[in-house]
Amino acid sequence: MMNPNQEYNLNLPQQHIIIMNAPLLRRAVAFAIDIAFILIFLLEPFSVFFKSATSSQSFLETLFTIHPGLATILLASSGLITVLYFSLFEYFAGQTPGMNLVNIKTNIPTFSKAIVRNIYLIPLTPFNLLLIIELWYLFRTKQRFTERFTNTPTLYSMPLEDN
């Protein structure tokens, strides 16, 4: 009969993994997938709205042909949706669908950090100016500026084979 106070070594197989900053290529692919998803699905309701304003139903085509005031409304709305998309997925699931497909993730303790981390996605001044800083930091340190600022790096885990 087994003693509940004694520890047993059951020799279960254990997996070793390496965790490192996510490679740039994986980040780019993940970002492209997420942006495509946002443009095709989440911003679709705006195409109905813009059909009445212009002869175009394409979101991007509309952006370049409509009145500047209307373009500002469009950019602000799409920016909000985009920031919420990235923030909600990263906070609740640790990764967006695009990140999931390329196996990179992050760990964000608070929702406010998730928002700050993705604020550069708002395509209006002054937030869009952050994009330049983000890209420069990313190419130099493999982390974005806001990731370092909030201490929420995007990581890639790679399994190691046991010898």
Partner 1 sequence: MKTQEKNQSQERKHNPWIVALAIIAGLLMLSTLMAGCASLFVDDAYKTGNVALINVAGEISYSGQTNPLQTTSSSAQHVIDQLKDAQENDEIKAIVLKINSAGGAPVASAHIMETVAKTDKPTIAWISELGASGAYWVATGADHIIAHDISMVGSIGVIGSYLEFSEFLEEHNITYNRQVAGQYKDMGTPFKEMTTAEQYKTRQLLDTMHDYFISSVAQQRNLSKEEVASIATGELFLGMQAKEKNLVDQLGGETQVKTYLQNILNESIDFRTYTQKTSVFNLLQSLSSSMGEQIGSSLGKTVLEEQPQAQFSY
Residues that bind partner 1 (CB under 8 A): 12-20, 41-46, 48-49, 52-55, 65-67, 69-70, 73-74, 77, 80-81, 84-85, 88-89, 92-93, 97, 160
Q: How far is the CB of 143 from partner 1 (least distance, A)?
A: 15
Of 149, 36, 44, 144, the C-alpha closest to 96 is 36
Quote the tokens at residue 128: 């869009």
- Closest CB 82 distance from partner 1, rounded Å: 9
CA distance 121 to 84: 10
156 phi/psi in degrees, rounded to 5: -125, 130
CB of 132 to partner 1, least distance (A): 27
Give 11 or 55: the residue with its C-beta nearer to partner 1.
55
56 or 128: CB nearest partner 1 = 56
Q: Nearest 5°: CA angle at 143, between 114 and 80?
A: 35
